[in-house]
Amino acid sequence: MTLRAAGTPPELIVADGAGAPVRLMAPSPDRDATATLAQGRSRPAWAEIDLAAVTHNARVLAELAAPARLCAVVKAHGYGHGGPAVARAALAGGASRLAVALVDEGVELREHGVTAPVLLLSECDPAAASTALEYGLIPTLYTAEGIDAWAAAARAAGHPVTVHVKVDTGMHRVGAAPEDLVSVVSMVMHEPLLELEGIWTHLPVADGMEPADRRFTEEQLDCFERLVEDLRSAGMTAPLLHAANTAGAVAFPRSRHGMVRCGIGLYGYLPGAPGGVSASFAAQSSGAVLRPAMALKARVVAVRTLDAGERPSYGRLRPLPARARVATVPIGYADGVPRALFRAGYEVLIGGRRRPLAGMVTMDQIVVDCGDDETVRPGDEVVLLGDQGGQTITADDWAAMLGTISYEVVCGVGPRVPRIVIDRPDAAGD
């Protein structure tokens, strides 16, 4: 049985140097996406994915964490960037393995030719164990039910299975309770076909700047190390220990152990408020910087001149302060541009200048106040995330306006937005 993801992955197109798509990397099975559609000319809105930036970021993170190995977290379709392509780019930059949240995500990697080890970050439903085993995915286990399911799947397959065990040191989401870890690991080790490779935990506030956050993370790491020692005393060891996410890998070097699991850093962003993880990164990275891997763009499809006092879009929420040229752009909240950006004072880039929204974001379109600029025309490029004319808009900028985090911004770019690859690792200069 092959499981299929509930949501359709975003299309991912390889583009040539001029930006024209030349090959569909992750085709939808139920339609033929032509180059015209892929480039967004029938609806000119698209996300540009810089895979060379992913490779660069992986290299920077791998060097920072060494000698610990880098595990690239590519769940949620590679944080919205395209799972299989991001996986290959991260491996090219020095990642030695990958991590996903769902069996379906691991299956997608395998079906696109990715052969590196893939860790499931949560215990899957027992009914999915045989599928996960068929595709060579490494389970995380922490319950008797999960251990029994994987032992049965291994017996049915007739070969051993590598497994990891997660312990909950304070995240309180999933994982074995600390007082149960010895018994859980003992259950794994008493199953002849389950081979224990890793013990791990997760750090929920490694990006925090408050003293209480730092104390909590240090206490988690103390707990994890005590538990590992308890296992050793009981005659049980695992060759691979891991606790660090991106924040932990940067801000808490002791958390690196044998492997770090980096997600958001891979895509060009550091977690937490400025001055926290970012300051630690600057102090350790020898001048290297992370490069955002996604830009979100569209083109103007209509322009009209409206008098002062006109109120464009749903709700007629804001009068134009002066006679203005108003541009319509075909991208909206169904594509991951939240309505809340309007009230937050969000601006897009057109012609290298910041332009405010003229009205509420709608499902499929936004309207932009271009003031008295008569040069704005249909076909002009609009940058919602990325660079234009020396100006930059980042996912961190969106996050600050929305009271959220960069993770949610990039993951929120919807599946109907085609992803176009603008650079590949083999073309990177670093």
DSSP character string of 161-219: EEEEEEB-SS--SSSB-GGGHHHHHHHHHTSTTEEEEEEE---TTTT--SHHHHHHHHH
Give the dihedral sign, CA 218/219/222/223: negative
Q: What share of the chain is helix, strand, coil (3-state, %, to 5)?
A: 35, 25, 40
Reply yes or no on whether 142 is catalytic: no
Specify whether the CB–CB gap between 48 and 21 falls below 8 A.
Answer: no
Residues in the chain: 430
Query: How would DSSP label each residue in 84-96?
Result: HHHHHHHHHTT--
Handedness of CA 318, 357, 80, 301 (dihedral sign): positive
Q: Is 79 a catalytic residue?
A: no
Q: Which of 79, 267, 269, 314 is catalytic?
A: 314
Distance CA 290, CA 292 (A): 7
Distances (CA, A) of 102 to 5, 76, 406: 9, 9, 21
Catalytic residue among 75, 166, 267, 346: 75
> From CA 55, how far away is CA 425, in angstroms rounded?
6
**Which residues are catalytic, by number?**
75, 314
